[in-house]
């Protein structure tokens, strides 16, 4: 999420929500996030993703 301000709570997705949206396994979401394929922010042990970043990824495929 590169220094972006996060909008409304519904604009922020959990890894489980990203997995459901992309129809991929949860572990795949974590691997892609660690590689930087899916843009996200890690806070401690938790990841959060901006819905617009995930939607851009979907539209680019």
35 contacts: CB under 8 Å, gap ≥ 6: none
Q: What is the pLDDT of residues 14-58, one digit of tens each?
A: 999 999 999 999 999 999 999 999 999 999 999 999 999 999 988
25 contacts: CB under 8 Å, gap ≥ 6: 19
Q: Is residue 52 part of a domain?
A: yes
Q: Is residue 3 part of a domain?
A: no
Output the pLDDT for position 7. Answer: 58
Which residue segment(s) compose the domain that 49 sits in?
A: 9-60
Q: Is residue 4 part of a domain?
A: no
Indicate the DSSP class of residue 7: -
Integer Cα distance of 14 and 37 in angstroms: 16
Task: Tell me the pLDDT band of 10, cut-offs 50, 70 and 90.
Answer: confident
pTM, two decimals, is 0.81
Q: Is residue 33 part of a domain?
A: yes
Q: Is residue 2 part of a domain?
A: no
Token readout for 42 is 């890690």
Which spans in 1-50 are helix H?
A: 15-22, 26-35
Q: Is residue 14 part of a domain?
A: yes
If one counts the domains in the chain, the total is: 1
């Amino acid at each position: 999420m590169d220094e972006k301000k996060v909008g409304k709570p519904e604009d922020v997705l959990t890894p489980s929500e990203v997995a459901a949206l992309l129809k991929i396994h949860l572990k795949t979401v974590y691997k892609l996030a660690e590689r930087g394929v899916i843009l996200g922010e890690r806070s401690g042990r938790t990841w959060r993703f901006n819905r617009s970043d995930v939607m851009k990824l979907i539209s680019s495929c």
